[in-house]
Chain A
Amino acid sequence: MDILTLFIVIPVLTIIGIVFSKDHKQVKWTAAIGMGLQLIAAATLIILFLMERKAGNMAEMLFVKDLVWFPSLNIHYLIGVDGVSVAMIGLTAIVIFAGIFASWEVEELHKEFFITLILLSTGVFGFFISLDLFTLFLFYEIAVIPMYLLIGIWGSGPREYSAMKLTLMLMGGSALILVGLLGLYFNSNPSGGQLTFSLLAISKVHIPVEIQKFFFPFLFIGFGVLGALFPFHTWSPDGHASAPTAVSMLHAGVLMKLGGYGCFRVAVFLLPEAAHELGWIFIILTTISVIYGALGAVWQKDLKYINAYSSVSHCGMVLFAILMFNKTAMTGAVLQMISHGIMTALFFALIGMIYGRTHTRYINEMGGLMKVMPFLGVAYVIGGLASLGLPGFSGFVAEMTIFVGAFQNVDTFHRVATIIVVSSIVVTAVYILRVVGILLLGKINNEHYEHLGDAKWYERVSTGVLIFGITAIGLAPLWLSEMISGGLGPIIQRLLMASPIH
């Protein structure tokens, strides 16, 4: 069996294992072992990939496998990876692994919980390896739908409302995507003959500009909804606030990245001329996302809302960078997806752990927690510093790559947008330090908190893995950045050909 299919098979086997598990403990351990294997598989994939590249295999996609599964519409199970998807698979494996350990204390319907959670991750993995648009969409839906159950059943607060809102908005996005994908399919062979869903085949075709311009907004907005594009981001604060810890982690950490990845891999890659012509609209929207999300976070009092708005800002930067249409900025976009993915998963994990102890998420009701839970406190500070782009953590690498890349566009419009986006890092510092100051530092303002315990071993595993991720990338970013930019050749070439200056 090829290594990529393994990423579907392992979760499915894990799910089967969970079904036959007897008690809570067995369920947890099955999930942990399964996702541990998945993490090892991801590491192996990265190594194999780098070795292939080093050996001189410069094919656009590696480990390609093609099986027909619905011949009449020419739908294939077509999989393969380049540097970008390998990086995203690595991210997903880390986040889901940490997520299992962060859900160690889920009691209610634990079996169903872990099954749904892992099912969701299966969708994500499938999405990242798919090269057939139909399969890609199928996996996309597999990733989105379990979310409804996870929030609706295991959530907190107004969970039915949030689950409904999140699902409906994302479904709205899916509908747009579906229209866009069908548009691509029916124009995939302008000379007549067999239509195709294959991403690689469509990327070799020239679709007329007018048609591109019609379908581009469907795809970009459709994926953009999931990537928290302003003004379609409002599912995110409510959704996160009601979601259980691991779901928030996975959702903000990975699922939102499907949006960015889709915009990049489908919308921009397949419709480059339209991207050039209509990009300015989305540059405005993403610039707003970045600064607006950051400013919105300053005022919030609920930890999850703060992090949700912060995610709007950071994910806005991903889409912004994609629209800069050059290799540096796009490398930055992918780096930012990975960096933000790990970072925000860390935040949500910590928020869940803190909430589990204090039973509140309002920062004003807490204070001085550093003293009673130093491990969680330090982890939160590390997450915060990574989020505000401190060198030595992944956020810095990603942001600087984006800024330098964005600055390669010389016209005033791009310059102004870039400078606004750059300025957002001050606002980020403001809200991060505000939270750290109120939540962790100062005096303990509630005597009940004095007896709270610090992190348990599984919580340390969960946060430790994520902290390791952001620090490792932050200290030695070169290999990752080279791996990603190596995969960007085709898209950059297509954009160059489509560029009006060309």
Chain B
Amino acid sequence: MINFGFTVWIVLIPLIIFVLVGFFGNRFKPVVSGIVGTSGLFVSMALSYYTAYQYFFNVPRVGDAFQKLIAYNTVWLRLTEKLHIDLGVLLDPISVMMLIVITTVSFMVHLYSIGYMKGEKGYERFFSFLSLFSFSMLGLVIATNIFQMYIFWELVGVSSYLLIGFYYTKDTAVAASKKAFIVTRFADVGFLIGILILSFTTGTFDFITLTDPNGTAITQGGGIMFLGLSTMTWSMIFVFMGGAGKSAMFPLHIWLPDAMEGPTPVSALIHAATMVVAGVYLVARMFPIFHFSAPVALDVVMYVGAFSSIFAAVIACTQFDIKRVLAYSTMSQIGLMMFALGVSGYGEEAGLGFMASMFHLFTHAFFKALLFLGAGAIIHAVHSNYMNEMGGLRKHLPITHITFLIACLSIAGIPPLAGFFSKDEILAAGHEKSLFLFILGLTISALTAFYMFRLYFSIFWGKEQNYHHTPHEAPKVMTIPLMLLALGAIFAGLLPFASFVTSDGKPLAMHIDLAIAIPAVLVGVFGALTAMVFYRKETNIPEKISTALGGFYRAAFRKFYMDELYLFITRKIIFNYVSRPIAWFDRHIVDGSMNGVSYVTNEVSTRIKSFQSGQLQQYAWVFVTGAVALALAFIYLWTN
């Protein structure tokens, strides 16, 4: 069998580039940084494909199942006798799949950014951060233990913070980056507490030990009950909290739309294809524990996923900022992935949901990255983010137009594009669980098709606006990644995905059930056609509908007032009613009492010091008075 030690370099190369570009980037022409970064990622990508090939075809399977391999492992920090944090490389079907996704999208984004960021200040800073992110994300997926995952989890968080706040002189960008970091940090505390409970209960951080269905971690059961739920359930709910924060699940999603303040390639890479699916990956990674030891937590995953999905889809229909539409769309699609994991069982056919979720993650990465990069090309051309300031762009941006259309068809689930296959599997998994969930899935599909084509028709059709200058197609370095990703969005679904990635590692036969596929396609077409009627030519139907919906429309347009709620909690309650009183309390009560002690000491000494005046008459007078008083007191006591 081949030695997979080289996989360490997949992760280390971006790190080295981060350091090199970060320290020395400004000594060269900016474009050097871009080229160095892109070629580094190309090497990582090539190594990832080689790893995937070797892993899936040349590693002997045991009992038909793909094995989990530790390609590299070293102790980083020893905590107790049992617990130690390791850094290493774990290869299994999902981590290998993620390596492909991350390096591919990251390479495309690097390439695209060479053109997109041209002339921006801080070009080399951008590329060094991009490499830092790629390093952290790759380190996250190959983690051999949950603490390594947490380490890289925090690092992707900070890379995301740095990249959202890339335009750091813009106040909105600064606020957005801060919000993203703090909201995910809040979620990460949950994750950390989950890890602490889990490691204390099972005595290990190691993924292989933790997720082995016959291993001690799972067979020892859920642990003692606390507030009606087992320890394991609590720990998994806390762990999922971390995942929900990163993956922008309701109610921790509020940072994602604001994160669109970052440069568009960043949105494509971090906030569409890779980092935001880390939560899904986390649940998938821990799936056997969820399934065997904490089924209640898995239900939580399902409900949160389903609700977030429909919630975001509704909001996406009302937004005008094209990047925000895409952001809510991302949230909705990730909700679907979570939902699929939530309904999944373990092993064989029961694990369909797991496979579907990973499959959708895979295809989604291509078409969503494509959509964002396309949006970047559009914004580049018209200098606006708002679709009501766009229209008729299909003549000016032919390549962007075609690739964008492909992505829309793919996400809407039109066969034979990639999105159709993966979404079909998710619907099938939902159908197995209950009819209601299936209908919910169909509704989300219809909404998805509607808002995507609303976007498409508003941008490329409709009335041409008065642009400042005639929009022109992006340079080749930007359109080539678009075309390559479009290939992915078309063909990724044709891969026999279930032969590689399943819940228990054993290949699964994939088939299309017409009873599910036909309604799914029909609702997709219906959604797309409705959008066409509404937005292809300028009509007043959308306005009429929004007026008819009244309050509901306004609520959806204002994103159901979630931002206002958060502001209320953070600004009003925490800042004004907790932090401010504490500061006051500290200055006036705690410190006041310390000052009080010194004041009293001072006062007492001031009073006492007048006795020490040095005047003999006064001393004599005090002496005589004292003596008389004492004598009187004694006489009084004596006589009684």
**Which residues of A approach B to under 8 Å, CB–CB?**
165, 168-169, 230-235, 238, 292, 295-296, 298-300, 327-328, 368, 370-371, 385, 388-392, 396-397, 400-401, 403-405, 407-408, 418-419, 422-423, 425-426, 429-430, 433-434, 437, 440-443, 477-478, 481-482, 485
Contact = CB atoms under 8 A, between A and B. Distances in A.
Main secondary structure of the interface of A (DSSP, over half): helix
Contacts of A423: 189
A234 B169 contact: no
Contact of B77 (A234, A408, A481): A481
A426 B579 contact: no
A295 B578 contact: yes
A478 B77 contact: yes
A392 B598 contact: no
B83 A478 contact: no
B241 to A, nearest CB: 12
A404 B196 contact: yes
B6 interface: no
Q: Interface centre among B161, B575, B582, B593, by most A CB within 10 Å?
A: B582
Nearest to A410: B200
Contact of A231 (B76, B158, B582, B590): B590
Contacts of B591: 234, 238
B582 A441 contact: no
Contacts of B85: 400
A264 to B, nearest CB: 19
21 contacts: A169-B594, A230-B590, A232-B594, A300-B583, A396-B151, A401-B77, A403-B196, A404-B83, A404-B199, A405-B80, A422-B193, A423-B189, A425-B185, A425-B192, A426-B185, A429-B181, A437-B178, A441-B169, A441-B174, A478-B77, A482-B78
Interface residues of B, number: 48
Contacts of B152: 391
B182 A442 contact: no
A295 B581 CA distance: 10
Contacts of A292: 582, 586
A169 B152 CA distance: 43
**10 A-B pairs with the lowest CB-CB distances in the bound complex, closest first:** A234-B591, A299-B583, A391-B151, A298-B579, A441-B168, A299-B579, A441-B174, A429-B185, A407-B196, A433-B178
A400 B189 CA distance: 12
Contact of B189 (A230, A233, A234, A425): A425
A437 B174 contact: yes
Nearest to A418: B196
Contacts of A434: 178
A328 B79 contact: yes
A363 B196 CA distance: 37
B78 A426 contact: no
Nearest to B179: A433
A234 B161 CA distance: 34
Contacts, number: 122
A335 B83 CA distance: 18
B81 to A, nearest CB: 9
B80 A368 contact: no
Given A238-B591, A299-B580, A441-B169, 19 more contacts: A165-B595, A230-B590, A232-B594, A234-B586, A295-B578, A296-B582, A296-B583, A299-B583, A327-B80, A328-B80, A385-B158, A390-B154, A390-B155, A391-B155, A400-B79, A401-B79, A403-B196, A404-B83, A426-B186
B171 interface: yes
A403 B200 contact: no
B78 A442 contact: no
Most interface-central of B158, B200, B579, B590 (chain A CB within 10 A)? B579
A405 B165 CA distance: 35
Interface string B145-179: 00100111011001001000100110100110010
A403 B175 contact: no
Contact of B594 (A234, A370, A430, A482): A234
Nearest to A370: B168
Give the residue among B155, B200, B575, B583 with the most A Cβ atoms within 10 A.
B583
A443 B595 CA distance: 40
Contacts of B590: 230-231, 233-234
Contacts of B154: 389-391, 396
B75 interface: yes
In the complex, which of the residues B83, B152, B178 has the most CB atoms of chain A within 10 Å of its own CB atom?
Answer: B178
Contact of B598 (A165, A371, A433): A165
Interface string B54-98: 000000000000000000000111111001010000000000000
Contacts of A418: 196
Most A C-beta atoms less than 10 A away, residue of B77, B182, B186: B77
Contact of A392 (B155, B169, B574): B155
A422 B185 CA distance: 12
B76 A408 contact: no
Interface in B174-206: 174-175, 178, 181-182, 185-186, 189, 192-193, 196-197, 199-200
Contact of A296 (B78, B586, B593): B586
Contacts of A485: 78
Contacts of A440: 168
A295 B178 CA distance: 17
Contacts of A230: 590
Interface in B409-438: none
A298 to B, nearest CB: 4
Contact of A298 (B155, B575, B593): B575
A416 B582 CA distance: 21
B182 A430 contact: yes
A308 to B, nearest CB: 11
Contacts of A422: 189, 192-193, 196
Contacts of B582: 292, 295-296, 299
A425 to B, nearest CB: 6
Contacts of B75: 478
A201 B196 CA distance: 38
B194 to A, nearest CB: 11
A16 to B, nearest CB: 37
Contacts of B174: 437, 441-442
A277 B593 CA distance: 28
A318 B25 CA distance: 40
Contacts of A433: 161, 178, 181-182
A405 B158 contact: no
A442 B171 CA distance: 5
Contact of B79 (A295, A390, A404): A404
A408 B189 contact: no
Interface in B351-405: none
B77 to A, nearest CB: 5
B182 A426 contact: yes
Contacts of A391: 150-152, 154-155
B76 A477 contact: yes
Contacts of B181: 429, 433
Interface string B261-297: 0000000000000000000000000000000000000
B151 A397 contact: no
Interface string B592-634: 0111001000000000000000000000000000000000000
A244 to B, nearest CB: 22
A441 B161 CA distance: 13
Contacts of A300: 583
A303 to B, nearest CB: 15
Contacts of B77: 397, 400-401, 477-478, 481
B572 to A, nearest CB: 14
A404 B578 CA distance: 28
Nearest to A164: B598
A298 B171 CA distance: 20
Contact of A443 (B169, B575, B594): B169
Contacts of B586: 234, 292, 296
Given A299-B582, A422-B189, A426-B185, A405 B79 contact: yes
Contacts of B158: 385, 390
Contacts of A404: 79-80, 83, 196, 199
Nearest to B598: A168
